[in-house]
Structure 1
């Protein structure tokens, strides 16, 4: 990787998105931000890190959000005053993601990063899916759960992530047309998925 590149990774639960992000970052010599983004956004915003942990990729039902984002899109400085806490958390992460992308090459996992950076010419959005059987096997191994509890956890986590993404972004979670690259880690394997992403980065760099 010779030029500045920011890779965002959207992922189904159990598809290995976090591991792919971490390993890819190591191979490229850049940083991967997943849970690390929460602490960074807390530091940047002055809000308590616990708030970010409690609201991490969780959906909201407040319809005040549209008013908040209208103000944000017009370029006004966000003061976080008189704003629902979940929107404070989202906007703080949104701003931190933009700052990271402006500052360095990196990988950002989840948290609507592809939406935050959709106008950034250096950003590549990747979606990681996998066969349900492979996802079940992976989650069972990591969390030591039985089949029933594993399937329930996968369903609930995917539903939560989808609700969060669909609410805060203008796109649909997991819809292929919303991403630059969609890969099945169950077919390719973790290392194979990483190799395809690296090849995609190389091919894209030739266009600049």
Structure 2
């Protein structure tokens, strides 16, 4: 039995350790962890090849395609109905559906991919954003990928720009803005374990507050 009833979504700057934080939370709270695994689920449920999902993963699309997505929402999009749509549109909605299905299966950790937006109507969700100083992130990435810190910084800038553009197109919020999330944590100052411990404590407070209200 898991140690929480809360679904935790984690947005993250590249190199801030969001993936590792999610994995450790999963172990401590004994709930499933989904990062790239979301693509596998979306592929199985939608029939879209996983290679296509990976190729478009958290990458920005055009404003024209964004308008099509918003039109689909306003016209009453039905889950799993992807016919006659551009591929970027299909991929976003397939991931959107997969996130909702995973959430309906129970508490879990969901990394990126606008999961906080997909689940914004769920009461048992805690949305977290992990960030850190660029210098610290560059050191981390250079170690992980065996590259110079200068190259790591370039990679950070490009990846953050893609993630931000993707999030900003598909949600009504702004990526990395404090107003877009329940909690924002600096992994450069708190460390990976510090962020994990902080999130666990916040989950306990959230669940205790909910019980008190009820």
Q: Distance in 1 between matches of 2:72 and 2:114?
A: 19
Contact 2:65 2:88 in 1 (8 A): no
Structure 1 residue 45 corresponds to structure 2 residue 13:
no
Aligned to 2:195: 193
- Provide the secondary structure at the position in 2 that maps to 1:206: helix
1:175 maps to what in 2? 177
- 115, 118, 124: which one pairs with 1:122? 124
Measured after TM superposition, the shift of residue 124 of structure 1 is: 0.5
Please show how residues 91-170 of structure 1 align to structure 2 within 5 Å. 91-170=93-172
Deviations 1:70-117 (A, max 9, x none): 333553425212211011000000011011111111000000001111
> Is the counterpart of residue 87 in structure 1 residue 89 in structure 2?
yes
**Which blocks of at least 5 consecutive residues in structure 2 are unaligned?**
none
The Cα RMSD (Å) is 1.4
Aligned position for 1:23: 24
Give the C-alpha shift of residue 131 in structure 1. Answer: 1.2
Mapped to 2, the partners of 1:59 and 1:91 lie a distance apart of 14
Given the two structures, how large is their TM-score scaled by the length of structure 1?
Answer: 0.96
The separation in 2 between residues aligned to 1:80 and 1:167, in whole angstroms, is 19
Would the alpha carbon gap of residues 145 and 116 (structure 1) be closer, same or farther in structure 2, given more than 3 Å must change? same
Aligned residue pairs: how many? Answer: 208
Tell me the TM-score normalized by structure 2: 0.93
Task: Tell me which residue corresponds to 2:61.
Answer: 60
Check the 8 A contact 2:63/2:169 in 1, yes or no: no
